[in-house]
Amino acid sequence: MGLNHLDFAIIALYLAGITLFGLRFRKKQRSLRDYFLAGRDIPWWAIALSIVAAETSTLTIISIPGLAYDTNFTFLQVVMGYVVGRVVISFVLLPHYFRGDLYTAYELIERRFGKGLRSLTAGLFLLTRAAAEGVRVYAVSIVVSIALGTGEVASIAIITALTVIYTFEGGLAAVIWTDVVQTAIYVGGTLVGLVTILHLVPGGWSAIHAAAASAGKLQLFDFTPSVWIPYTFWAGVIGGTFFTVASHGTDQLIVQRLLAARGQRQSATALVSSGAAVLFQFALFLTVGIMLWAYYRVPSAVFGRPDRIYPTFIVTRMPHGISGLLIAAILAAAMSNLSAALNSLSSTSIMDFYVRLRPLADEKTKMRLSRLATLAWALVLFGLALIALHKVGRVVEVGLQIASVAYGALLGVFLLGVLTRRANQRGAMVGMACGFGVELYLWLGTHVPWTWWVMMGSTVTFGVGWVDSVIAGGSAEEEQRVPSRSGIRTPK
């Protein structure tokens, strides 16, 4: 059926409207505190929705239904771990972030260990976040090229250009408040899509439920005691918890939002409440995938790849108007995730590297460079998305795999900093190198699922780092100095 003028009008209205809305915040950006932390004056509910939007990319909206189309509901076990991980962060890591005036997660590492390890952790974040985000930006082209008929390169360029405009000008405030709007759009659009599919399947929900149940599509829990299956209860809850403690507790993409709250309590409330929203959201996307399977009843290979199933259905089967709304909803998720990545990459580049090297630079110069860094990272992500054009498979899993490779090493270092006083900078660096090496091996040399990588990498990083620190010795004086200069209080 394809899109018509009404659909294109809705998409154009959304793209223009969200860009202009984001530009409303440009006049409020007078300092780095405004640009990177939104003046630390964002209410908890807005931060919660922004966290949800930041971790919900086009990958989630198009690939999770494709995953459910091929499998069942077992991925939701991983999301249960996402919820548990948020609670752990609230008690273990969040208190340390609100001791002092921090702008990035990696300032905490310098205060505990030193400048060298701060540079290492910040650099690892920049590399892996850029690589993972490049895959996410590529996912946008799948939707735009199907919907608008543009080439994949042009599709990537359009979304990147529009997103960078308001992120460049409005900073984190623009990112968070556009996230709030975009979350409402893509969740509302998905609900409309679900109801529409329900009416298109003969027999409605009863027929869908009966067919899905007989095919094992409604399976939620899998208690198989195997490390080789990616979505079991054990891999989901344990692996998902470790993954989330790393992604939401050590990744500047999320930590930056937590630091923008009005206080620690509001930050914790935002983080935990976002977990409930994410659980609902993933259940919604998985349900859409099961319903699409009940509608088509053909192998996903017919569509070329599972990620194309939902966009194809929207464009070819949805009524006009609703098609445009759903494409706009998917673009909303893409733009919110991209804007979050650009601002976090810029903040780490400026605060963890430039400001340390040029501490006496005036605020005007730092603001100008912050905007230029946003633009530079947009170009980098555009280039990485072009490289990702040749990647095959489910893009959501590719994105999670790339992120997981670094998360274990990062989490292990943070845990060394807040859970023990025996660790020193050298030991943490050795542990981090070993943990990162193990995760690379798991990714490239084994068939161990990504759900276990962060747990294994962080365990190796923590264990090797602690042992090396104890064997090397010489950390007592450093440990005695740390509490007075950093405000970090760690157990003996």
* pLDDT digit string, tens, across residues 82-94: 999 999 999 999 9
Position 391 scores a pLDDT of 53
Position 317 scores a pLDDT of 84
Residues 335, 137: Cα–Cα separation, whole Å = 9
**Torsion angle, CA of 163/166/169/174, rounded to 10 degrees?**
-120
Q: Residue 129: which pLDDT band, with cuts at 50, 70 and 90?
A: confident
Task: Name the residue with higher pLDDT: 171 or 211.
Answer: 211
Position 390 scores a pLDDT of 60
Position 479 scores a pLDDT of 43
Position 463 scores a pLDDT of 96
Contact 64, 285 (CB under 8 A): yes
435 alpha-carbon distance from chain centroid? 21
Residue 270 is given by DSSP the state H
HSE-CB for 45 with a 13 A CA cutoff? 2
Contact 257, 54 (CB under 8 A): yes
Residues 424, 273: Cα–Cα separation, whole Å = 35
Q: How far is CA 480 from CA 113, 404, 421, 483, in A?
A: 12, 33, 9, 7
Position 400 scores a pLDDT of 72
Q: Residue 296: which pLDDT band, with cuts at 50, 70 and 90?
A: very high
In a domain, 183, yes or no: yes
In a domain, 423, yes or no: no
Average pLDDT, the chain: 86
Of the listed ranges 141-150, 360-369, 481-490, the one predicted with least confidence: 481-490
DSSP 407-420: HHHHHHHHHHHHH-
**Torsion angle, CA of 331/334/335/338, rounded to 10 degrees?**
-160
In a domain, 448, yes or no: no
SS3 261: strand
Of the listed ranges 2-6, 33-37, 81-85, the one predicted with least confidence: 2-6
Task: Name the residue with higher pLDDT: 277 or 402.
Answer: 277
- Percent share of the chain, pLDDT over 70: 91
Q: Which helix (H) or strand (E) holds 95?
A: helix 94-97
Domain count, the chain: 1
The answer for residues whose C-beta is within 8 angstroms of residue 93's C-beta and 6 or more apart is 245, 249, 250, 414, 418
In a domain, 77, yes or no: yes
- 281: domain CATH number is 1.20.1730.10
Task: Name the residue with higher pLDDT: 399 or 181.
Answer: 181
Task: Name the residue with higher pLDDT: 163 or 123.
Answer: 123
Largest CA distance in the chain: 73
Position 77 scores a pLDDT of 95
Q: In the predicted model, what is the mean pLDDT of residues 350-358?
A: 91
Position 389 scores a pLDDT of 65
pLDDT at 480 over 60: no
Give the dihedral sign, CA 349/350/352/358. Answer: positive
Q: Which long-range contacts (CB under 8 A, 24 or more apart) does 208-214 make?
A: 208/290, 208/291, 208/294, 211/294, 212/290, 212/293, 212/294
Q: What is the pLDDT of residues 52-79, one digit of tens each?
A: 988 887 777 888 999 999 999 999 999 9
Q: What is the pLDDT of residues 246-290, one digit of tens each?
A: 999 999 989 999 999 999 999 999 999 999 999 999 999 999 999
Domain span holding position 144:
5-392
Hey, how many other C-beta atoms are within 10 angstroms of the C-beta on 141?
25
Position 148 scores a pLDDT of 67
